[in-house]
Amino acid sequence: MRGSTHKLRLWPLLGVAAFIAAATPLRAEPFPADLLADKGIDGFVTVERLPLPEDAQLLEGRAVWEETCQNCHGGNRLTGAPKITATDAWAPRIEQGLAVLFDHAINGFTGPKYTQMPPRGGNDDLSDAQVQAAVRFMVWASGGDVLATE
Ligand code: HEC
């Protein structure tokens, strides 16, 4: 009978373990801090200049970003698009939270200086999920790695 008492005693511990697992947020994959700068890393940023993420969602976002978003967000000053890796430009945007960023990327957005983010970056073939993945990739690579995989 000793064995069964032991088993019974383990139940509360399992409960505590499950509670801790549920309460611990997913840990975001860290982005190397030395690839961030106030104004972004020098020159035009392409995906090859950034580390390859492991997270499946970020990987998908990377592909979408390269195809549609990089043209402007790689550092095209004429468009006024915030450059990926530029923490000054991204910090206040990241502060808005993912829901607002998703909405602005999917539906388009005009900033206070009348620079325009076109809906879906101008690529109507992209699904909501693809645009959202690209936003996560940008946030991850612009000082928001904790938020990126939430
Ligand atoms: C034609 C250029 C262009 C393309 C292509 C483009 N963007 Fe943008 N994007 C902009 C500009 C300009 C802004 C800044 C608008 C402002 O705040 O003045 C912006 C801002 C954003 C923001 C920040 C919105 C906010 O609330 O601060 C997100 C997120 C974003 N773009 C995501 C994307 C994604 C994802 C793609 C690709 C699917 C993409 N963009 C493609 C020009 C572009």
| Domain extents in the chain | 29-148
Amino acid at 125: D
Helix (H, G, I), strand (E, B) or coil at 110: strand
At 145, which helix (H) or strand (E)?
helix 145-148
Q: Is the shortest distance between the CB of 111 and ligand 1 below 6 Å?
A: yes
Average pLDDT, the chain: 89
Q: Is the shortest distance between the CB of 70 and ligand 1 below 6 Å?
A: no
Res 127 pLDDT > 80: yes
* Tens-place pLDDT, residues 90-110: 999 999 999 999 999 999 999
Q: Is the shortest distance between the CB of 116 and ligand 1 below 6 Å?
A: yes
133 Cβ contact partners less than 8 Å away, ≥ 6 residues apart: 57, 58, 60, 61, 64
- pLDDT for the residue numbered 24: 54
* Tens-place pLDDT, residues 60-98: 999 999 999 999 999 999 999 999 999 999 999 999 999
Lowest mean pLDDT among 7-16, 42-51, 117-126: 7-16
- pLDDT for the residue numbered 149: 87
Residue 24 is encoded by which pair of tokens? Answer: 């611990």
Alpha-carbon gap, residue 98 to 100, rounded angstroms: 6
pTM: 0.86
Alpha-carbon gap, residue 9 to 25, rounded angstroms: 28
Third-level CATH fold of 29-148:
Cytochrome Bc1 Complex; Chain D, domain 2 (1.10.760)
Q: Is the shortest distance between the CB of 87 and ligand 1 below 6 Å?
A: no
